[in-house]
Chains A and B, each alone.
Chain A
Amino acid sequence: MEFDRFHQFGSLLLQDDFVLSYSGYVTEDILEAVGATLRQRLADHVDSPRQIRNVFSIFVELMQNVIRYGTDGPQPENECGSKESFGLVMVVQKGNCLDIMSGNFIVQDDAEILRDKVAFLNRKTPTELRTLYRTRLRQPPEANSKGASIGLIEIARRSSIPLQCDMRYADDGLCFFMVKASVQGAS
């Protein structure tokens, strides 16, 4: 990568008050390492234990979704031939709120289903989300089921505002799917 583009990448990041940023292949080891870093950053900069807990929970659920449901994307397979999902995860401070964002490549049809699931969850009240979560707990986890997964429901419950998502169509029938949750601090 030339220095110009590398510098651009850094500048983009610094436009926001970011707490943590990871971009690359997302694996369980990465989740553990980045999670530990996030915990430390939150402990150093955030007062509210409740906010820390919700941000960390959302981070874990988003990362695990990237690991489980992401595809390789446009990047080539790694040397060991194993499949790793390319993804972005970012935690950004916005006033009293912490935004948690994730982005990764998924198959276009799945992206559209996921977008509909997010819209479905956003129409629910907190009580309805609680009931939905309880119902889904005893149902087997199915990656392509019509109902929202408990991971996504958990993210929706812990987010202070409705979940936001967007997608960008990419080559080879893929889509870069992005989710944003937001957790308010103590008022």
Chain B
Amino acid sequence: MAELNLSATSRTPAVSLSKAASHLKIEGESYPEDVNGFYMPIMQAVDRYFADGKESLAVEIHLIYFNSSSARALTELLDSLEGHAANGASITFKWFCDHDDDITREFAEDTAMDMEHLKIIIADMTRDG
């Protein structure tokens, strides 16, 4: 499947990968019991998305919390997207960070610096309520 529609759980984010909308959205919290079991299918779906001939993708990450294992998995996902971008895919990447969460912002900034083809935009997450 090159599409995904996972509902959020208390420990995993909602994930939606849509060919029609050309977007990948990851929203919620991430500290799953089995990090690879959660993120591997997402990376595989993204690979199939591009293998099926799609040329562009808009990625948005809205994570209010993610643990260190998730950070590692997200890095793998980003490396994979970097690979697709290097192969000619047009990928925009927006990372929403809470304005007072320095560590997440630093993670996004450091990851952005490691990317050559993938352009990562860091945006402010507005807090509801």
Measured CB to CB, the residues of A under 8 A from B are 28, 32, 36, 49-50, 53, 56-57, 60-61, 64, 130, 133-134, 137-138, 141, 149-151, 153-154, 157-158
Contacts and interface: CB of A to CB of B under 8 A. Distances in A.
Interface of B: 10-11, 31, 33, 65, 67-69, 71-72, 75, 79, 98, 100-101, 103, 106-107, 110, 114, 127
Contact of A50 (B72, B79, B100): B100
B112 to A, nearest CB: 12
**Which residue, B10, B68, B98, has most C-beta atoms of chain A within 10 A?**
B68
17 contacts: A28-B33, A32-B10, A50-B100, A56-B65, A60-B31, A64-B31, A64-B67, A64-B69, A130-B106, A134-B114, A138-B72, A138-B79, A149-B68, A154-B68, A154-B71, A157-B103, A158-B103
Given A32-B11, A49-B100, A57 B65 contact: yes
A50 B98 CA distance: 10
A60 B71 CA distance: 14
Contacts of A153: 68
Contact of B110 (A53, A61, A64, A130): A130
Nearest to A134: B110
A74 B85 CA distance: 53
Contact of A150 (B10, B31, B71): B71
Main secondary structure of the interface of A (DSSP, over half): helix
A57 B67 CA distance: 7
Given A49-B100, A50-B100, 9 more contacts: A32-B11, A53-B65, A61-B67, A130-B106, A133-B107, A150-B68, A154-B67, A154-B68, A157-B103
Nearest to A131: B110
A57 B104 CA distance: 11
A36 B75 contact: no
A50 B99 CA distance: 10
Contact of A137 (B65, B72, B100, B127): B72
B8 to A, nearest CB: 14
A157 B102 CA distance: 10
Residue of A130, A134, A153 contacting most chain B CB atoms (<10 Å): A134
A60 B10 CA distance: 13
